[in-house]
Structure 1
């Protein structure tokens, strides 16, 4: 619904007078960050459940699935997300962010409901069918996630930098919530399928909160005002469509002929932000090539049965997500290097490839080409924490810096572009994890 024109004028007159009352927009943005990555965070953390569902010694065709499941999960997650974010650059010209987000989260909720139901279905007689259904669900879920990320990050990029930081912190907290929920579910219920039911139910609740919250952004004066400024300054929509970001209707197709070509619009923006974009891509390439496909394969040297049970949920997932959050949080305290040194930022991202041999030389039973040098449990814990810290800090820093390189009217497009760089990193990272299978 379009808001009153007089109200628009008041909002555009002086945005400094518009306050984020009770920090409501910040908390909505924070929860949006949690919600958009729920499929990835909750699926990768539920390793014990999927290993339980896919293990059947009497079925040779399924014997490899528990071992390679995380690689398949990663590729089914990140490739669709990367593809849909390319389409996001086109869709944003015709379909409003609110509509894209609403469709994405509604479909995601339905597919997660199917996942929840499957936890109570005995699939041992047909493991391959369960695997196929799971992979199809993952593709749909992460397609929706890509739509939601592109839509939400584009809108949030219009706002001050602290909101992007809050969004990124929300993503890290989403991983932390998934890790804690998984551990508590394991403690509360001994059966993997029963604990998974509780676990995925938590995910559905957070999806519901995310959907309700983001849809409220269009009705809050503070968030609406920043988006309206960009729309009023954008020559493509200034006169006819001043409320495109939060209007739930699509733009008329008759307006397409008056718009700039795809390359004319985005090529200049890429030139201004490509070092920051490449940094985000490289950060995720390193992280996703190792986490969780290989870091979750590290086993403890301890003979303590309780520690064996919780070693992967704690040292791989919980510690990584805590470190990732701390890295994102510290972007609000210390920013190094500054935005004037984008090449330095990229070089730091390049150095992170040192984590590849470090992880490979930990206690991974399936490795054949690398010696075990870091046998003690302390080593993978330290490596995981450093991987998470550098991931969260430098990705958030790049996403904060990129919108500051362009004018206000271009920030929404830059937000969508940076999300595209992010998804390329995810896709290339999981593809590289398959290559690593033959190296390690």
Structure 2
């Protein structure tokens, strides 16, 4: 068997590249959900005047497109994402990783350019077509992103655990950056449309940089060492241990048996999180919105800050906390129990002050901004912390030659949780 050679990561360059690429991994999803005001503007109810100009009818209840858009967005994003994460989990170890990652990144960049172009296009008279185009673009972006995300998790699984931690914390920071950017653009006087344009434009620039950065990563000695070591170990152990005719599915079954607790845990984590955030949480309004004496916090910043910024800050904090080795960490069974307990978040958020003017089935029982914000923080911190625990530990519980397969499969199960949570979120919105 090939011996391990200690090759230093000079100046932590490879670590920073992993971190940078992981920030960009969730940029498409984060930017789409954070510019909620832009989508509400695009799908607002308008009147056609005699002259043919479109004008707002005025404030009031959200129309069907506005009410259901975030849930539709979640489904359009998560279903193709999970399909390709599952495919990657099953056969990703058989495919060349570098072409997959590069071409999927380029695909996301091109599709985000299309999204950016539509920002300043007047779509008032063809909102249904714009909705179809938008959701189709989201599907295609998440096909590419699923290919990249699954492959990148598998790649990180070949490296020491600190690089998987870099991927997970980078994802969390990406959410914080997008939420902050949207709030800053609103604070300096930009409207929702301008904020969306600059957010989408930044994503094009950042993801274009990701393509170049990934090329640089493949040229490093550390990258070549760990990827070649994983390939060599897999080939050697398979030839020594497996009889002729045994295929890779046997190894996958072995992986499933070893890390079944982590698999169920990560599935439940994201079922609950996506069932609540953002489809339900984005509809929660400040209890003082529109009342005499209310200001920008209640009417402009409440959703961008309390829903998106606070969630992403909590998620990032949880992921960072999970990477600190000096603290004892819960074992697989305790993590699974905590994931089951989190199911109570779904009815709790449904009882918050979500679309109070359009509720028919579920009563508002949590009529408090503070209680809602506290729930957001508990949901997000637990999401980030438990994700960091199980996603890092799972690949290191299996034999070395199965680490990439385990990381790929965990990413696939995470994606299944995302899709299931998105489906539940759509039902939750209908039950408000």
Establish whether TM, by shorter chain, passes 0.5: yes
Whole-angstrom CA distance in 2 between matches of 1:236 and 1:19: 25
Aligned match of 1:251: none
1:259 deviates by 7.3
Cα deviation digits, residues 174-206 of structure 1 (max 9, x gap): 111110111122223433222211111111122
Aligned match of 2:376: 384
* Residue of 294, 311, 316 corresponding to 1:320: 311
Aligned match of 1:56: 45
Cα deviation digits, residues 401-423 of structure 1 (max 9, x gap): 10111122111111100100110
Inter-CA distance 87–306: structure 2 relative to 1 (3 Å threshold): same
Native 8 Å contact 1:111 1:137 kept in 2 = yes
Q: SS at 2:120's partner residue?
A: coil
Whole-angstrom CA distance in 2 between matches of 1:399 and 1:94: 21
* Residue of 323, 328, 332 corresponding to 2:323: 332
1:439 deviates by 3.0
Aligned match of 1:276: 262
Aligned match of 2:404: 412
* Residue of 340, 347, 351 corresponding to 2:341: 351
Whole-angstrom CA distance in 2 between matches of 1:172 and 1:292: 15
1:238 deviates by 8.5
Residue pairs, 1:36-435, within 5 angstroms: 36-58=25-47, 63-235=63-235, 260-302=246-288, 303=291, 304-307=294-297, 308-333=299-324, 336-338=328-330, 341-364=331-354, 365=356, 366-435=358-427
Aligned match of 2:51: none
Q: SS at 2:95's partner residue?
A: coil
1:13 deviates by 5.1
Whole-angstrom CA distance in 2 between matches of 1:208 and 1:259: 43
Whether 2:9 is the aligned partner of 1:20: answer yes
Whole-angstrom CA distance in 2 between matches of 1:58 and 1:14: 69
Native 8 Å contact 2:77 2:139 kept in 1 = yes
1:261 deviates by 3.0
1:140 deviates by 0.5
Aligned match of 2:53: none
Whole-angstrom CA distance in 2 between matches of 1:92 and 1:237: 18
1:351 deviates by 0.3
How high is the TM-score relative to the length of structure 1? 0.88
Whole-angstrom CA distance in 2 between matches of 1:396 and 1:367: 36
Whole-angstrom CA distance in 2 between matches of 1:129 and 1:371: 34
Whole-angstrom CA distance in 1 between matches of 2:188 and 2:111: 25
Native 8 Å contact 1:217 1:224 kept in 2 = no
Q: SS at 2:352's partner residue?
A: coil
Q: SS at 1:387's partner residue?
A: helix
Whole-angstrom CA distance in 2 between matches of 1:118 and 1:236: 52
Q: SS at 2:113's partner residue?
A: helix
1:356 deviates by 1.7
1:65 deviates by 0.7
Whole-angstrom CA distance in 1 between matches of 2:246 and 2:133: 41
CA RMSD of aligned residues (A): 2.1
Native 8 Å contact 2:17 2:213 kept in 1 = yes
Native 8 Å contact 2:319 2:388 kept in 1 = yes
Q: SS at 1:92's partner residue?
A: helix
Inter-CA distance 207–430: structure 2 relative to 1 (3 Å threshold): same
1:322 deviates by 0.3
Native 8 Å contact 2:268 2:417 kept in 1 = yes
Whole-angstrom CA distance in 2 between matches of 1:261 and 1:236: 15
Native 8 Å contact 1:31 1:209 kept in 2 = no
Gaps of 5+ in 1: 1-8, 240-257
User: Which range moves more in the overlay, 137-146 or 351-360?
Assistant: 351-360
How high is the TM-score relative to the length of structure 2? 0.90
Q: SS at 2:263's partner residue?
A: helix
Cα deviation digits, residues 100-139 of structure 1 (max 9, x gap): 1111110100000011111121111111111111000000
Cα deviation digits, residues 9-29 of structure 1 (max 9, x gap): 9xx65422x011000111111
Inter-CA distance 406–237: structure 2 relative to 1 (3 Å threshold): closer
Q: Could you say which structure has the greater relative contact order, defined with CA pairs below 8 angstroms and 6 or more residues apart? A: 2
